[in-house]
């Protein structure tokens, strides 16, 4: 479908998978919109100093990081590894987080520009990090926001590491901070050990369009931080939005990112002119994501064709100019009295409907299990095993098998394990929203 | 359609003045029935444009070749970007051919086409239930080696269950028409020219599948049927009428003198026809079966060996030849029924006749695309076509 190239930007392309046929009176149109960003082959590789990106690393330095002491040491090493992965020219800062936020490097409300000297200084400063104090993640994020905002960089990213619950701040305060920071920078969140709250860490990553994961063994932190930083360094364009135009009297029932993870974007719409709304997608490197778009259109007579949605990728242009459209695809509705056509399920739509249900079933199953509802948990996790098996989602199937004994994966018959490690349960919950793409 | 269109005085797309009975704009071809109804306004549904209005866009666009009618490609919508929407009248048309307000697709060029030239007229219409027109026609007037005229009409119906049926029918018509004109001008016997025309049409349609058919072997999950279509042609040369066909598109003979017998000139390659021919079912039983319209012969890469059927007739009296797709003959199956719809002055006003036949199909429900070509017999002298 459509694609556009702009200097310095990756080449975006949009593909739409759907069955456009609706029965007489049908109103609901479902489509999977696949967005792929590929490096601009004509561009010079970004070996030159890169002033477009700014990164703030937030390291939990609360008292609990001292138990065991290796945790703080591993966090320091991981942050050092992340600093080493910074490309020359990228602006960066390190923040120590407790019940308050403190600039560790470079300080003075500024960011440093990465080069051999500043990387060395930053690692030196990390040695002074010591645990002590509480946890108020909102303060860390607000400081990161101030630092990143001053950078003027197009790609603004945070990396947040925590090992405990957000105990020294009301949940509402964190919520308000996330609302304030949403759209201003993106942030990956990691929980180290097993004493943190999955929903908190996932909530941060979700609100700030980043990834969430568990690093149960602190020894694995350095490798994980290096990977995160490499991904951030690969981002080429920030503040990209999925813009949906829908016709008069139509409504967007939902918009979900469905690959690589499930993320409901429906409520994050910002109006963008008549009948159009923008859904934030954050920064893009060389990657591909899928979105499930569901639109309810006014019914039209058999034989009619309508544009149910125009999906485009837009990036803000400097100084009030209209946003630049990077690529677009069309979601159509065609009314027919051919039942074979209107009842056919598009394989992509069916697949991702299943993946979204899988993520939901895992979350529900774990919640019910915690609440002591054995039957309910067994039913939901059984359904999850069935969906994971059917869609070939092996990673999730393996994680599920650590929480339930699988009797018959195809039928979804399972028994709850009597003893489940905290780590296994947290890993499953954290990664429940990861999806696999359609097998071809 | 469930709603009665409002009374429009000018075309919402191009502001051309309209007659009360117009269903399509005479200026730009916009489907006026696509305009939603306004309170208290009504006008009769169905029926083609009235006489006297200028030719529709389908014909208009082919003025460069006044002696040949043909079918344009389908992807482009008939109404250009920046013009108002024919459906809601408040939005403008975007570059993809949809209204930026209500999202409705705009009428495409092939939604309704008309063509008239010396000795032949043709009309093709999307109908009321299909979202695009997968039928096509092509007409031409050629000169035989002795200088006498030869009139050619080809009609094709794209197979909906196959890929790109609209491209198949257009390719078949163009190839058959060109082969016929070349052959007749070179002195080939009309029946042999017809046979070759059907073969060349089959090759043209098979060629559409080319790369896709190879790709299919490597990507078995992508189930794309090769483009396919039917074909029927009629050629009038002197006192000879020659028809050729594959599939279930038909040709009828309707004499001026309705006291004499009209006739169907083609035998369908269809399940129903085979059942009747084999004596397994009565005609009524066969056509009532849901498999009745399954065709047993077609043009396309996946067709078994294409066997062009041809037949020649020496009509002994004046009349018209009606060449059509099943979108018409479903509403006038027998030769008698078809003759009853053909107006008495069909031979002098073939375009009016074609429009009348289309109106008959639309009034009957318009469940399929409708295409019909009308050839007066014998061919009247050049330039004597109706206005």
- Domain(s) of CATH 3.40.50.410: residues in chain A: 53-233
Q: How far apart are CA B49 and CA B18, in angstroms?
A: 10
pLDDT at residue B44, rounded to an integer: 34
Q: Supply the pLDDT for residue B210.
A: 63
Tell me the pLDDT band of B8, cut-offs 50, 70 and 90. Answer: low
DSSP A329-386: EEEEEEE-S-HHHHHPPPHHHHHHHHHHHHHHHHHHHHHHHHTT-HHHHHHHHHHHHH
Please check whether residue B104 lies inside any domain of the structure: yes
CB B324 within 8 A of CB B360: no
A 296-355 residues with CB below 8 A of B?
A: 297, 300-308, 310, 330, 333-338
Share of chain A above pLDDT 70, in %: 95
Q: Which residue of B has its CA nearest to A328?
A: B96
pLDDT of residue B22: 59
Q: Does B382 fall in a domain?
A: no
Residues of B with CB under 8 A from a CB of A: 1-3, 34, 88, 91, 96, 98-105, 126-132, 160, 219, 221
SS3 A112: strand
Q: Are residues B102 and B135 in the same domain?
A: no
For chain A, how many helices (H) and strands (E)?
11, 21
B42-70 pLDDT per residue, tens: 333 333 333 333 333 233 333 233 345 55
Q: Do B340 and B234 share a structural domain?
A: yes
Q: Which CATH architecture has domain A53-233?
A: 3-Layer(aba) Sandwich (3.40)
Position B67 scores a pLDDT of: 45
Q: What is the pLDDT of residues B307-319, one digit of tens each?
A: 899 999 999 999 9
DSSP character at residue A9: S
Q: Bridge-partner residues for B373, per DSSP?
A: B122, B323
Residue B105 to residue A307, Cβ atoms within 8 A: yes
Residue A40, CB half-sphere, CA atoms under 13 Å: how many?
Answer: 19
- Indicate if B39 and B98 belong to the same structural domain: yes
Going by C-alpha positions, the residue among B32, B45, B49 that lies closest to residue B4 is B45
Residue with token string 């299943």: A354
- pLDDT tens for A253-311 read 999 999 999 999 999 999 998 899 999 999 999 999 999 999 999 999 898 899 999 99
- How large is the average pLDDT for residues B156-173? 93
Assign A49 a pLDDT band (cuts: 50, 70, 90): very low
Tens of pLDDT, residue by residue over B209-220, are 865 444 444 433
What pLDDT is recorded for position B221? 37
Q: Are residues B56 and B135 in the same domain?
A: no
Residue B16: pLDDT band with limits 50, 70, 90: low
- With respect to residue B386, please indicate whether it lies within any of the assigned structural domains: no
- Domain end position, chosen among B40, B75, B109: B109
Q: Which residue of A has its CA nearest to B131?
A: A303
CA–CA gap between residue A97 and residue A60 (Å, rounded) = 5
Model confidence band, residue B291 (pLDDT cutoffs 50, 70, 90) = confident
In a domain? residue B260: yes
Domain of B16, in residue numbers: 1-109
SS3 A403: coil
Of A173 and B84, which is predicted with more confidence?
A: A173
Reported confidence tier of residue B303, pLDDT bands at 50, 70, 90: confident
Per-residue pLDDT at A48: 39
In a domain, B181, yes or no: yes
Q: Is the pLDDT of residue A41 over 70?
A: no
Orientation angle between helical segments A374-390 and A347-370, nearest 10 degrees: 150
- Give the C-alpha separation, A128 to A130, whole Å: 6
Domain boundary among B109, B130, B145: B109
Q: Kindly report the average pLDDT of chain A as a whole number.
A: 91
Model confidence at A12: pLDDT above 90: yes
Instruction: Clarify whether residues B235 and B326 are in a common domain.
Output: yes
B129–A303 CB contact, under 8 Å: yes
> Considering chain B, what is the average pLDDT of its residues?
80
Domain boundary (B62, B88, B109) is at B109
Is residue B246 within 8 A of residue B298, CB to CB? The reply is yes
pLDDT greater than 70 at residue A323: yes
Residues forming CATH 2.60.40.3670 domain(s) in chain A: 7-41+238-343
Q: Which residues of A touch B105 (CB under 8 A)?
A: 304-307
Query: Do A351 and A391 touch, CB atoms closer than 8 A?
Result: yes
> Same domain, yes or no, for B19 and B68?
yes
Q: Which of A48-52, A377-381, B212-216, B293-297 has the lowest mean pLDDT?
A: B212-216
Token representation of residue A280: 């934030």
Q: Which two structure tokens, joined as six digits, stand for A382?
A: 């059984």
Structural domain count of chain B: 2
For residue B160, pLDDT beyond 90: no
d(CA A320, CA A324): 11
Residue A134's pLDDT band (cuts 50, 70, 90)? very high
Does residue B36 carry a pLDDT above 70?
Answer: no
pLDDT digits (tens, 9 = 90+) for A310-322: 999 999 877 777 8
So what's the pLDDT on residue A8?
66
- pLDDT tens-digit series, residues B185-215: 999 999 999 999 999 999 999 999 865 444 4
* Both tokens assigned to B84: 């108002």
Q: Do B103 and A330 make contact, defined as CB atoms within 8 angstroms?
A: no
Check: complex ipTM more than 0.90? no
Instruction: Write down the pLDDT at residue B122.
Output: 97
- Residue B383 belongs to a domain: no
Residues A117/A105, Cβ–Cβ less than 8 Å: no
The predicted structure's pLDDT at residue B218 = 41
Q: Determine which of A2-16, A18-32, B221-235 has the lowest per-residue pLDDT on average.
A: A2-16
- Residue B54 domain flag: yes
Q: Are A111 and A151 in contact (CB under 8 A)?
A: yes
Residue B74 has pLDDT above 90, yes or no: no
| CB of A293 less than 8 A from some CB of B | no
Three-state SS string over chain B comes to CCCCCCCCCECCCCCCECCCCCCECCCCCCEHHHCCCCCCCCCCCCCCCCCCCCCCHHHHCCCCCCCEECCCCCCCECCCCCCECCCCCCCEECCCCEECCCCEECCEHHHEEEEEECCEEEEEECCCCCCCCCEEEEEEEEECCCCCEEEEEEEEEECCCCCCHHHHHHHHHHHHHHHHHHHHHCCCCHHHHHHHHHHHHHHHHHHHHHHHHHHHHHCCCCCCCCCEECEEEEEEECCEEEEEEECCCEEEEEECCCCCCCEECCCCCEHHHHHHHCCCCCHHHHHHCCCCCCECCCEECCCCCCCCEEEEECCCCCEEEEEECHHHHCCCCCHHHHHHHCCCCCCCCHHHHHHHHHHHHHHCCCCCCEEEEEEEECCCCCCCCCC
Average pLDDT value for residue range B332-348: 95
Distance in Å, alpha carbon of A334 to nearest chain B alpha carbon: 7
CB atoms within 10 A of CB B76: 12
Decide if pLDDT at A1 tops 70.
no
The contacts of residue B316 (CB under 8 Å, 6+ apart) are none
Looking at the fold, whether B155 and B85 belong to one and the same domain comes out as no
How many other CB atoms sit within 10 Å of the CB of residue A98? Answer: 20
- According to CATH, where is 1.20.120.1690 located in chain A? 347-430
Q: Which of A250, A276, A305, A342 to mutate to test the interface with B (most CBs of B within 10 A)?
A: A305
> Please, what is the end-to-end C-alpha distance for chain B in angstroms?
31
CATH topology of domain A7-41+238-343: Immunoglobulin-like (2.60.40)
pTM above 0.95, yes or no: no
Q: Does one domain contain both B32 and B89? A: yes
pLDDT at B244: 97
CATH domain A347-430 topology: 1.20.120
Residues of chain B with pLDDT > 90, as a percent, come to: 52
């Amino acid at each position: 479908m459509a694609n556009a190239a702009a200097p310095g930007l990756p080449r975006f392309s949009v593909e739409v998978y759907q069955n456009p046929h609706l029965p007489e009176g049908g109103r609901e149109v479902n489509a999977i919109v696949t967005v792929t960003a590929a490096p601009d082959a004509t561009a010079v590789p970004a070996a030159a100093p890169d002033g477009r990106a700014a990164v703030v690393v937030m390291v939990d330095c609360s008292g609990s990081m001292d138990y065991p002491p290796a945790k703080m040491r591993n966090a320091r090493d991981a942050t050092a590894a992340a600093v080493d992965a910074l490309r020359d020219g990228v602006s960066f800062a390190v923040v120590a987080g407790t019940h308050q936020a403190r600039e560790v490097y470079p300080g003075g409300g500024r960011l440093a520009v990465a080069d051999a000297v500043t990387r060395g200084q930053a690692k030196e400063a990390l040695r002074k990090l010591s645990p002590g104090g509480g946890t108020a993640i909102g303060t860390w994020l607000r400081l990161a926001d101030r630092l990143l905002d001053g950078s003027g960089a197009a790609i603004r990213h945070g990396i947040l590491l925590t090992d405990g619950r957000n105990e020294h701040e009301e949940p509402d305060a964190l919520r308000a901070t996330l609302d304030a920071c949403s759209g201003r920078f993106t942030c990956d969140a990691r929980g180290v050990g097993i004493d943190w709250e999955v929903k908190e860490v996932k909530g941060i990553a979700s609100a700030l369009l980043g990834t969430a994961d568990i690093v149960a063994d602190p020894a694995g932190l350095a490798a994980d931080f290096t990977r995160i930083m490499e991904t951030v360094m690969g981002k080429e364009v920030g503040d990209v939005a999925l813009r949906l135009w829908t016709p008069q009297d139509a409504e967007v029932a939902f918009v979900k990112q469905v690959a690589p993870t499930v993320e409901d974007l429906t409520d994050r719409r910002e109006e963008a002119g008549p009948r159009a709304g923008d859904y934030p997608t954050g920064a893009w490197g060389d990657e591909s994501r899928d979105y499930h778009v569901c639109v309810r259109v006014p019914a039209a007579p058999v034989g009619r064709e309508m544009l149910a949605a125009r999906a485009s990728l837009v990036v803000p242009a400097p100084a009030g100019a209209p946003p630049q459209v990077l690529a677009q695809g069309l979601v159509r509705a065609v009314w027919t009295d051919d039942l074979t056509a209107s009842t056919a399920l598009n394989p992509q739509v069916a697949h991702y409907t299943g993946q979204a249900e899988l993520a939901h079933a895992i979350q529900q199953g774990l919640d019910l299990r915690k609440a002591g509802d054995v039957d309910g948990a067994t039913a939901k996790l059984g359904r999850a095993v069935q969906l994971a098996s059917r869609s070939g989602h092996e990673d999730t199937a393996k994680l599920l098998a650590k929480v339930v004994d699988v009797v018959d994966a195809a039928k979804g018959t399972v028994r709850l394990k009597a003893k489940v490690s905290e780590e296994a349960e947290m890993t499953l919950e954290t990664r429940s929203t990861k999806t696999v793409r359609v097998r071809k | 359609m469930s709603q009665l269109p409002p009374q429009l005085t000018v075309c919402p797309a191009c502001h051309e003045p309209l007659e009360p009975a117009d269903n399509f704009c005479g200026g730009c071809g916009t489907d006026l029935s696509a305009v939603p109804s306004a309170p208290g306004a009504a006008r009769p549904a169905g029926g083609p444009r009235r006489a006297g209005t200028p030719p529709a866009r389908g014909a208009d666009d082919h003025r460069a070749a006044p002696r040949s009618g043909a079918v344009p490609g389908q992807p482009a919508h008939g109404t250009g970007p920046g013009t108002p929407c024919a459906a809601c009248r408040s939005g403008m048309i975007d570059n993809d051919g949809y209204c930026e307000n209500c999202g409705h697709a705009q009428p495409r060029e092939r939604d309704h086409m008309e063509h008239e030239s010396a000795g032949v007229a043709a009309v093709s219409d999307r109908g009321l239930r299909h979202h695009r027109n997968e039928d096509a026609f092509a007409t031409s007037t050629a000169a035989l080696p002795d200088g006498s005229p030869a009139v050619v009409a080809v009609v094709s119906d794209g197979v909906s269950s196959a890929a790109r049926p609209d491209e198949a029918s257009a390719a078949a018509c163009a190839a058959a028409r060109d082969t016929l004109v070349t052959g007749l001008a070179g002195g080939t016997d009309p029946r042999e020219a017809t046979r070759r025309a059907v073969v060349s049409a089959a090759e043209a349609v098979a060629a559409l599948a080319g790369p896709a058919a190879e790709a299919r072997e490597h990507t078995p999950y992508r189930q794309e049927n090769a483009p396919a279509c039917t074909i029927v042609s009629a050629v009038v040369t002197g006192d000879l009428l020659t028809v050729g066909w594959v599939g279930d598109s038909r040709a009828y003979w309707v004499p001026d003198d309705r006291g004499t017998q009209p006739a169907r000139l083609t035998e369908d390659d269809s399940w129903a026809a085979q059942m009747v021919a084999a004596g397994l079912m009565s005609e009524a039983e066969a056509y009532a079966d849901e498999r009745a319209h399954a065709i047993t012969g077609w043009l396309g890469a996946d067709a078994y060996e294409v066997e062009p059927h041809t037949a020649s007739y020496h009509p002994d009296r004046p009349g018209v030849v009606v060449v059509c797709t099943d979108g018409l003959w479903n509403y006038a199956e027998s030769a008698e029924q078809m003759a009853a719809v053909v107006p008495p002055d069909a031979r002098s006003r073939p375009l009016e006749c074609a429009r009348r036949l289309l109106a008959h199909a639309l009034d009957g429900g318009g469940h399929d695309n409708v295409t019909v070509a009308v050839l007066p017999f014998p061919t009247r002298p050049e330039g004597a076509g109706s206005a």
